[in-house]
């Protein structure tokens, strides 16, 4: 079945969604990782959908044990993890069953709530500053903490303080640029969020699980998307679905990615791979000045899914062409630059 036909079928099946649901969906997206939403996902939900969930110890980086106080928004020092969700640790609210903190570890590869793709296993502080330039002046650390903390809204990033680097102040920022980002925390007060809101309920039906831009949604939500907005649809069935999301996906799993989200993902990924790319494409809007060429194929419209499908397992090389080189090699004169990408063919490439 063609991509647009599949989306049309899904949309026709979905009833009209209310404005209130849309507003809540926007909030959920801001607070979610891999479809798990702070203060909407409960520990009970996790145990039902992730049967291999186990309790683990968590190193608190902002307020470790040696600090006098602890953050009252979550249960410090203890969380839950499983192999099905590598690099994600869930920590429960102190008063309720909701998950109020998500810790991302060095094993995490995926999208942050704002759509930025990160591979924490290779993310350095300089890479973080490339993604979030506003954090360059946001160095902070409690006197009892062993980490520099860089906060962006509800998200905090941590870099280990080198105790051998003396004096500690003024901070030798250049020294830390190559240091790894050790972890990411996503934290929310469930009391403030749920005090005047009702829960989003995912009904137990025979339908597959639906995810749009990495956020789990009800089938109803599909109604608000036009097929022209969709970059890719990936369908997992049977054991493949269960392997991805546990028993909750026993009826299947459908990942839908919008073009805007796909653009955000490949833009962030290519910036991490090439400083020259980051220079000529400083914003997503700058893409209109660029011609992408993938494996010698000039990409036209609806190629966002192809570019977003490239990751470390398929990526080989990226080089930049000047306008003169672009005209000479490909006869293209209406773009300022060419971005030539070489990769293995991803299994989910859409526009072959």
The CA–CA distances, whole Å, from 260 to 139, 186, 255, 289, 315 equal 31, 23, 15, 17, 21
Query: What pLDDT is attached to residue 13?
Result: 41
Q: Where in the chain is the domain with CATH 2.60.460?
A: 30-192
| Residue range 78-114, pLDDT digits in tens | 999 999 899 999 999 988 889 999 999 999 998 898 8
C-beta of residue 71 within 8 angstroms of C-beta of residue 64: no
SS (H, E, C) 205-265: CCCCEEEECCEEECHHHHHHCCHHHEEEEEEECHHHHHHHHHHHHCCCEEEEEEHHHHHHH
Poorest-pLDDT segment among 45-59, 142-156, 306-320 = 142-156
| DSSP secondary structure letters along 264-279 | HHHHHHHHHH-HHHHH
Distance, in Å, from the CA atom of 86 to the CA atom of 105, rounded to the nearest integer, reads: 8
Instruction: With a cut of 80, say whether residue 244 has pLDDT above it.
Output: no
The single-letter DSSP state of residue 203 is -
Class of domain 30-192: mainly beta
Q: Mean pLDDT, to the nearest integer, of 35-62? A: 89
What is the band of 144 on the pLDDT scale with cuts at 50, 70, 90? confident
Torsional sign, CA 54, 105, 109, 267? positive
Distance, in Å, from the CA atom of 341 to the CA atom of 339, rounded to the nearest integer, reads: 6
What is the band of 21 on the pLDDT scale with cuts at 50, 70, 90? very low
C-beta of residue 220 within 8 angstroms of C-beta of residue 201: no
Query: What pLDDT is attached to residue 40?
Result: 83
- The SS3 assignment for 307 reads helix
What is the band of 15 on the pLDDT scale with cuts at 50, 70, 90? very low
What is the band of 59 on the pLDDT scale with cuts at 50, 70, 90? very high
């Amino acid at each position: 079945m063609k991509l647009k036909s599949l989306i049309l079928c899904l949309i026709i099946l979905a009833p009209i969604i209310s404005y209130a649901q849309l507003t809540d969906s926007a909030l959920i997206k801001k607070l979610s990782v891999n479809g798990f939403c702070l203060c909407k996902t409960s520990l009970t939900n996790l145990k039902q959908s992730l049967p291999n969930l186990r309790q683990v110890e968590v190193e608190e980086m902002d307020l470790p044990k040696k600090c006098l106080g602890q953050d009252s928004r979550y249960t410090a020092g203890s969380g839950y993890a499983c192999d099905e969700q590598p690099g994600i640790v869930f920590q429960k609210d102190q008063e309720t069953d909701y998950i109020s903190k998500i810790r991302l570890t060095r094993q995490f590869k995926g999208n942050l709530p704002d759509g930025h793709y990160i591979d924490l296993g290779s993310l350095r502080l300089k890479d973080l500053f490339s993604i979030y330039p506003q954090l360059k002046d946001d160095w902070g650390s409690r006197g009892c903490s062993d980490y520099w903390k860089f906060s962006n809204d509800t998200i905090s990033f941590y870099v280990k303080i080198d105790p051998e680097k003396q004096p500690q102040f003024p901070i030798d920022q250049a020294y830390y640029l190559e240091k790894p980002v050790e972890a990411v925390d996503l934290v929310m007060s469930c009391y403030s969020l749920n005090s005047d809101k009702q829960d989003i309920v995912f009904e137990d039906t025979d339908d597959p699980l639906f995810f749009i831009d990495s956020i789990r949604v009800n089938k109803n939500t599909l109604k608000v998307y036009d097929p022209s907005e969709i970059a890719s649809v990936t369908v997992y069935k049977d054991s493949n679905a269960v392997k991805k999301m546990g028993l909750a996906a026993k009826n299947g799993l459908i990942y839908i990615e919008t073009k805007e989200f796909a653009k955000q993902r490949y833009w962030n990924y290519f910036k991490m791979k090439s400083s020259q790319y980051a220079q000529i494409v400083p914003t997503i809007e700058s893409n209109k000045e660029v011609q992408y060429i993938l494996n010698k194929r000039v990409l036209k419209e609806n190629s966002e899914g192809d570019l977003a499908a490239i990751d470390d397992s398929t990526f080989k090389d990226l080089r930049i062409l000047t306008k003169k080189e672009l005209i000479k090699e490909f006869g293209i004169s209406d773009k300022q630059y060419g971005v030539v990408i070489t990769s293995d063919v991803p299994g989910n490439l859409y526009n072959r």
